[in-house]
Structure 1
Amino acid sequence: MDLSFEMMALLVAVAAVAGFIDAMAGGGGLITLPALLAAGVPPTQALATNKLQSSFGSFSASLYFIRSGAVKLQSMWLSIVCTFIGAALGAEAVQHIKPDILMSLIPIVLIAISSYFLFSSSVTPHPEDKPKLSEAAFAFIIGGGVGFYDGFLGPGTGSIFAVCFVAIGRYTLVAATARTKVLNFTSNIAALSFFILADLPIWELGLTMAIGGFIGARLGAKVVLGSGQKWIKPLVIIMSMTMALKLLWEQHQQWLLSLL
């Protein structure tokens, strides 16, 4: 695909901003996917190319969190395996199943996520709080389930993982964000593998955008560990509500316009 230098530079900048936000609260695809479509990339290739570039951003954030000691892979191996398998199954299923029904449920999930963060008096678990699921159950149910969703559709995956780690795993926001990026990278790679087999990604464009996404995600991860929770909570609420409203508008645009 032949894009001008100016358009490529703009898409790199967009990927950097998306990577920064995604590392903190998820929802980076809400920025990059519309930008790719606006640049004239066909929808299926836009989805695949977006997965390609976002994989570098989630890898960058994950690597920073791991090196900083915010998360240890040994403690997450079962969740990583279940997430990978779930995402692979989701990426395969989306090629055979119409996603309309699941797509209509996404805004409800996102609104529930933002409401949890908005109305909960505190999203910092008490030190004596115990996880609501065992480690194995969390891996199979949350890792596998959310991984399947990311491979199948994907919007809001980071936010869904984050709220599950906080509400069910009883992690702090910083710890939840670090673990979220590891599983987000896992599901990205699994889904991307299927897109590559179908020869869908635009490699030159995706790898160029990945530069911006990698840098933006690294900066976002630094902010998470530096400024911590004061930035994560409002960003999760904003990104979740924005994604929900965008999807509701796309699904019910004609009906909403008829009310005006």
Structure 2
Amino acid sequence: MEITLLTALIMAATGFLAGFVDSIAGGGGIITVPVLLSLGLPPHLALGTNKFQASFGSVTSAWRYYRKGLFTLKETWLGVLFTFAGAAAGTILIQMIEADFLMKAIPLFLLAVFLYTLFSPELGANDRQVGMARYIFYPVFGLLLGFYDGFFGPGTGSFWTIALVVLLGLNLKKATGTTKIMNFTSNIVSLAVFIMGGKVVFLAGLFMGSGQIAGAWTGSHLVIKHSTKFIRVFFLIVVAATIARIIWKEFF
């Protein structure tokens, strides 16, 4: 594709907005993929390029959250390991999975997440009693959500966050931080597969990636500085937007 100055600016601005949103509540892909498609990239190149540019934002957010102590590698390495394995399996098996059912089912799952969060005002406000042991939680959800992100993706960050809050008892800040290291892991695995298949437009990804870094830094800064109520509101908005985007794409 030909990249003009205007196109480059649009990509950088889109990357900034997506990185900002994704660092707080996930869902950056609902912004970047439509823009890449509208700029003329075929679907397979748009998806591969999206993984490339998203990696800039997820590594920026993950690093910021790690430095601020919102997660530790000692606590999350098992999740990273199984997310890696799940994402690899999901990306490899993408051609063998019927995605139409998921496209219809995922909005229902996200709606359940939205309603549960909406009607649980104290959810994630503070750390609470752990509901599931880490050595069980991370293998199960690492494989499931890593696999899901490897071949489909929308809502992965939301699913991670709500699972970490409800089942591990993390507050929303810690859950958001932990979600980003898992997102980065599955992004990198999928990206490697797309690169091997020649499905990444690197120059476009670099322009978007520059915006992603700035947006992710800004968004993660707000998460670190503000209370969990701010994250909760943003989380609800992004989940609602993700539901609307998937329904619109599928039925209209």
TM-score normalized by structure 1?
A: 0.94
Does residue 73 (structure 1) correspond to residue 73 (structure 2)? The answer is yes
After the TM superposition, which residues 159-170 of structure 1 pair with which residues of structure 2 at under 5 Å, given as runs? 159-170=158-169
Does residue 157 (structure 1) correspond to residue 165 (structure 2)? The answer is no
Q: Is the 8 A contact 2:111 2:243 kept in 1?
A: yes
Residue 187 of structure 1: aligned partner: 186
Unaligned runs of 5+ in 2: none
Residue 224 of structure 2: aligned partner: 225
Residue 256 of structure 1: aligned partner: none
Give the 3-state SS of the residue equivalent to 1:95 in structure 2: helix
Q: Is the 8 A contact 2:86 2:145 kept in 1?
A: yes
Residue 258 of structure 1: aligned partner: none
Distance 1:174 1:186 in 2: 19
1:250 Cα deviation from its structure 2 partner:
2.1
- In 2 relative to 1, CA 149–176 (structure 1 residues): closer, same or farther, beyond 3 Å? same
Deviations 1:165-204 (A, max 9, x none): 1011110000000000010101111111111111101011
Distance 2:206 2:95 in 1: 25
Residue 55 of structure 1: aligned partner: 55
Residue 113 of structure 2: aligned partner: 113
Aligned CA-pair RMSD: 1.2
Distance 1:11 1:208 in 2: 6
Residue 144 of structure 1: aligned partner: 143
- In 2 relative to 1, CA 134–218 (structure 1 residues): closer, same or farther, beyond 3 Å? same
Does residue 175 (structure 1) correspond to residue 174 (structure 2)? The answer is yes
Q: Is the 8 A contact 2:48 2:200 kept in 1?
A: yes
Percent identity, aligned pairs only, is 37
Unaligned runs of 5+ in 1: 254-260
Distance 1:131 1:144 in 2: 20
Distance 2:126 2:76 in 1: 22
Q: Is the 8 A contact 2:126 2:171 kept in 1?
A: no
Distance 2:126 2:33 in 1: 38
1:125 Cα deviation from its structure 2 partner:
6.0
Residue 17 of structure 1: aligned partner: 17
Q: Is the 8 A contact 2:126 2:170 kept in 1?
A: no
Distance 1:116 1:37 in 2: 33
1:126 Cα deviation from its structure 2 partner:
5.9
Letter matched to residue 90 of structure 2: G
Q: Is the 8 A contact 1:125 1:170 kept in 2?
A: no
Letter matched to residue 208 of structure 1: F
Does residue 99 (structure 1) correspond to residue 118 (structure 2)? The answer is no
TM-score normalized by structure 2?
A: 0.96
Q: Is the 8 A contact 1:16 1:217 kept in 2?
A: yes
- In 2 relative to 1, CA 6–126 (structure 1 residues): closer, same or farther, beyond 3 Å? closer
Residue 135 of structure 1: aligned partner: 134
1:162 Cα deviation from its structure 2 partner:
0.5
Distance 2:250 2:124 in 1: 35
